[in-house]
């Protein structure tokens, strides 16, 4: 398996919703290995399958030395309380913009054996879970910016 190249903004795969995983086969096992190896690098918090060009619903995370993955994740709970903070993305390299997110998030999905997985957290973990599920739905964090900030962000993206 390998550390995979990250697709960047402008690649249509990032705007394509991912398909549910219906069968865990060698391809899915290899995908999970690649997601885990690719996210396990300094400065990486999360990685969705479409960021490495695979249109399946899976992501990996690397928060506070906790590295894991979720297949077919669904946001099960979000707090009403929010956090404001700068957010970045491997697919939008070098840019960070203030993005409002729920302060708490819980994701449910499955593992490679079909067992239920639940990942939850506040702060950075909550931000990561929401960010990665957005990716799997074909959205970038830039879509969540208010109009004025989005205009500024898109100008910065064009300069890349």
What is the pTM assigned to this prediction?
0.96
Active site residues: 132
How many Cβ atoms from other residues are within 10 Å of residue 150's Cβ? 14
Which residues, at least 6 apart from 146, have a Cβ–Cβ distance to it below 8 Å?
Answer: none
Please, what are the averages of pLDDT over each run of 10 residues along the chain (160 residues)? 89 98 97 96 94 98 95 98 96 96 98 98 98 98 95 92
* Domain map (residue ranges) of the chain: 12-159
pLDDT of res. 160: 80
Query: What is the reported pLDDT for 70?
Result: 98
pLDDT of residue 1: 58
3-class DSSP state for residue 50?
A: helix
What are φ and ψ of residue 102, in 5° steps? -65, 145
Class of domain 12-159: alpha beta
Residue 42 CB contacts under 8 Å (≥ 6 apart), including other chains? none
């Amino acid at each position: 398996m390998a550390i995979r190249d990250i697709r960047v903004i402008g690649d249509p795969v990032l705007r394509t919703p991912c398909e549910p995983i219906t069968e865990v086969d060698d391809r899915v096992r290899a995908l999970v290995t690649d997601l885990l190896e690719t996210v396990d690098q300094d400065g990486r918090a999360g990685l969705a399958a479409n960021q490495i060009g695979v249109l399946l619903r899976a992501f990996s995370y690397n928060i506070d030395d906790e590295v894991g993955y979720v297949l077919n994740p669904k946001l099960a709970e979000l707090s009403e309380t929010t956090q404001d903070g700068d957010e970045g993305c491997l697919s939008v390299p070098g840019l960070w913009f203030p993005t409002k997110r729920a302060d708490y998030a819980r994701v449910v999905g499955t593992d490679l054996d079909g067992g239920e997985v639940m990942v939850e957290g506040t702060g950075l973990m909550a931000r990561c879970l929401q960010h990665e599920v957005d990716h799997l739905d074909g959205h970038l964090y830039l879509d969540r910016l208010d109009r004025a900030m989005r205009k500024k962000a898109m100008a910065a993206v064009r300069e890349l």
